[in-house]
Amino acid sequence: MKRGPENLGGQPRANGCSFSKHGAGGGLKNGYVRGSAGADTHSQIHRIVHNGGLYKRPFNEAFEETPMLVAVLTYVGYGVLTLFGYLRDFLRYWKIEKCHHATDREEQLDFVPLYQDFENFYTRNLYMRIRDSWNRPICSVPGARVDMMERVSHDYNWTFKYTGKVIKDVINMGSYNYLGYTQNTGPFSEAASKVLSQYGVGVCSTRQEMGNLDKHEELETLVARFLGVESAMAYGMGFATNSMNIPALVGKGCLILSDELNHASLVLGARLSGATIRIFKHNNMQSLEKLLKDAIVYGQPRTHRPWKKILIVVEGVYSMEGSIVRLPEVIALKKKYKSYLYLDEAHSIGALGPSGRGVVDYFGLNPEDVDVMMGTFTKSFGAAGGYIGGKKELIDYLRVHSHSAVYATSLSPPVVEQIIASIKCIMGEDGTTIGKQRIQQLSENTRYFRRRLKEMGFIIYGNEDSPIIPLMLYMPAKIGAFGREMLKRHIAVVVVGFPATPIIESRARFCLSAAHTKEILDIALKELDEVGDLLQIKYSRHRLVPLLDRPFDETTYEETED
Amino acid sequence: MDLKRVKDYIYWLYYQYLLISCSYVLEPWERSMFHMIIITVVAMVMYTAYVFVPIHVRLAFEFFSQMFGSQPESTVLLMN
């Protein structure tokens, strides 16, 4: 990961804007000023729309405050469940009732206890009671509608039995199928099956050995062209793309600045790398800037040597909050402090931007400004795997040094074909406008669904353009009740509880898709309205939290007056 | 007709109580135990209120009437 200083150093001008250090440069103010004569077309970035004038479009992101009464009742609910959990654990301990959960073995009793921490208590006594809302098996393509297998439990969710019946045509609000490419009929699957008969399912070897097929090369060129970067590399697993490539990029003596809500794969990668990790508050640029400043001023702890590299790790769309990264500000900070940026576009590629090219496209920025563009094929493209895009030197370096490239088997050719076909469709290279229509449909669906939910009075988190829509449930009993009531009404939803969210902020998460038609959304909304009244989860009082993290009178990047 | 609506409303209230107290997810025996505890606590609170509140109210009334009620009379008498 080497980049010449010519982009960032001496003449600090890129993307039509120039940056200077504190106090330096006399006439130039700190931070963000318009580039002079040479500045090209990008200079309309400067239209003052929102904070700092960095945004080309309004950036509306809201996180409504938890109502006090609801918070208190939620804690009371957890209190009741915890008390009963202790009671049940007591009964299990004295063998009054049978313990279904894993326990320490007799002969291991003197060792470190394995099942006594809070997570295990939670799983045993709280999660188990509402487990029927999770891990439901399906038996069809998870498109706009999905077939689910009916199951019952006779021992309060410790075991499940299949009744053999199928719940037909359940509306699917839970799949990461943003552009609706999850299909088992149509041109994509036909192309994939043709490739399957031609190439087989895989070559059982790594990219560095015999696993490198012409299809992979084709895919990588296409991905690079799609992203607008010099070069790209594809991997067989999205999670491993993150967790195996971050260690290849940074190591001891480097600093990783990570958003507090980053996905587990990024966290794992950062920890494996051995670099120092510092966490900044979610999407909070003041917090990030403070960390950057401290890192540069103080250097490494004890020795006070400068950090070898500083890598900012952010996601495009955060899968639990539905928020979009403040990319223009992150890039401005990155340039100002000359660090590197790792952008995980797992949820945003395909789903955001007028041409589906992710969050960079959404903000109308230059892909060159992001050093490492990572993303997955799992979500929008209806396939599997992940990619990394960036400068040619970076990708060449990763081809040699990434564990994913060295040890993991290469992508299966039919999967590659599915990705190629769907990317070509998005780019309009298959001669149709289907891709364009789907992107439009998705953004319409998103706006419509969010607007309607807000009108109904639910508390919705996140950015108004994010296709992930978290609907707050808060109380533990309502998680289970919501999942069950929605399935009763033939709507499949994903509910999210404690380990994935803070304990008080349980939520349901809708993932919209271009495959959803307006009729389907209207049915879903009607049922949601009903369930919302039944469960009393329309908590919203339409009082938005003033974004405390961003003082309105003071911006990090001051702009010059025209 | 009206009776049915009242019945529905009571069911709805009971459902809300189940959801908020989290007894919705408890097993039947736990749920009945929880109800017993809640009923006992509420009954005791009400009984205590029934026994002690009238006494306290009477005492308070006497206290305040002594403070405000009889005082002016005596001062007036003294003035005379």
Using the Cβ of B13 and the Cβ atoms of chain A, whether some distance falls under 8 Å is answered with no
Q: In A55-105, which ranges are continuous DSSP H helix? A: 68-93
A347 is catalytic: yes
- Provide, as residue numbers in chain B, all residues whose Cβ is less than 8 Å from the Cβ of A81: 22, 25
Per-residue CA distances from A130 to A71, A89, A299 (Å)? 20, 18, 48
pTM for the whole thing? Answer: 0.82
Q: How many domains does chain B have?
A: 1
For A399, counting Cβ atoms within 10 Å of its Cβ (0-12 exposed, 13-18 middle, 19+ buried), the class is middle
For A484, counting Cβ atoms within 10 Å of its Cβ (0-12 exposed, 13-18 middle, 19+ buried), the class is middle
Per-residue CA distances from A5 to A65, A338, A478 (Å)? 44, 9, 55
Cβ atoms < 10 Å from Cβ of A329: 25
Rounded to a whole number of angstroms, the distance between the first and last alpha carbons of chain A is: 38
Cβ atoms < 10 Å from Cβ of A158: 12
Q: Can you say how many angstroms the Cα of residue B20 is from the centroid of all Cα atoms in its chain? A: 20
Q: What is the ipTM of this complex?
A: 0.80
With CA atoms as reference, the chain A residue closest to B11 would be: A534
pLDDT score at B73: 56
pLDDT score at A29: 36
| Of A284, A272, A198, A282, nearest in space to A242 by CA | A272
A485 strand-pairing partners = none
Under 8 Å between Cβ of A378 and A218: no
For A105, counting Cβ atoms within 10 Å of its Cβ (0-12 exposed, 13-18 middle, 19+ buried), the class is exposed
pLDDT score at B80: 55
Distance from CA of A75 to the nearest CA of B (A): 10
- Provide, as residue numbers in chain B, all residues whose Cβ is less than 8 Å from the Cβ of A481: 19, 24
- In three-state form (DSSP H/G/I as H, E/B as E, the rest C), the secondary structure along B8-58 is HHHHHHHHHHHHHHCHHHCCHHHHHHHHHHHHHHHHHHHHHHHHHHHHHHH
Mutation to test the A interface, candidates B12, B18, B24, B36, most A Cβ within 10 Å? B24
pLDDT score at A234: 94
Buried b (16+ CB within 10 A) or exposed e, B31-69: beebeeeeeeeeeeeeeeeeeeeeeeeeeeeeeeeeeee
Q: What is the pLDDT along chain A (562 residues), one digit of tens a residue?
A: 444 433 333 333 333 333 333 333 333 333 333 333 333 333 333 333 345 577 877 888 888 888 899 999 999 999 999 999 999 999 998 988 888 888 888 888 888 888 888 889 999 899 999 999 999 999 999 999 999 999 999 988 999 999 999 999 999 999 999 999 988 888 889 999 999 999 999 888 998 888 899 999 999 999 999 999 999 999 999 999 999 999 999 999 999 999 999 999 999 999 999 999 999 999 999 999 999 999 999 999 999 999 999 999 999 999 999 999 999 999 999 999 999 999 999 999 999 999 999 999 999 999 999 999 999 999 999 999 999 999 999 999 999 999 888 888 999 999 999 999 999 999 999 888 999 999 999 999 999 999 999 999 999 999 999 999 999 999 999 999 999 999 999 999 999 988 888 888 999 999 999 999 999 999 999 999 999 999 999 988 875 554 544 444 444 443 333 3
Torsion of the alpha carbons at A412, A228, A31 and A338, rounded to the nearest 10: 50
- Taking CB atoms and an 8 Å limit, are A475 and B22 in contact across chains? yes
Per-residue CA distances from A211 to A223, A387, A409, A508, B37 (Å)? 19, 16, 7, 41, 66
Work out the average pLDDT over B17-46: 94
Using the Cβ of B32 and the Cβ atoms of chain A, whether some distance falls under 8 Å is answered with no
Give just the sign of the alpha carbon dihedral A533, A537, A539, A544: negative
pLDDT score at A35: 35
pLDDT score at B2: 87
- Taking CB atoms and an 8 Å limit, are A80 and B16 in contact across chains? no
Domain that holds residue B27: 3-79
Q: How far apart are CA A73 and CA A206, in angstroms?
A: 54
- Provide, as residue numbers in chain A, all residues whose Cβ is less than 8 Å from the Cβ of B30: 84, 87
Under 8 Å between Cβ of A452 and A525: yes
Q: How far apart are CA A157 and CA A535, in angstroms?
A: 22
**What is the Cβ-side half-sphere exposure of residue A411, based on CA atoms within 13 angstroms?**
34
A95 is catalytic: no
Is residue A509 helix, strand or coil? strand
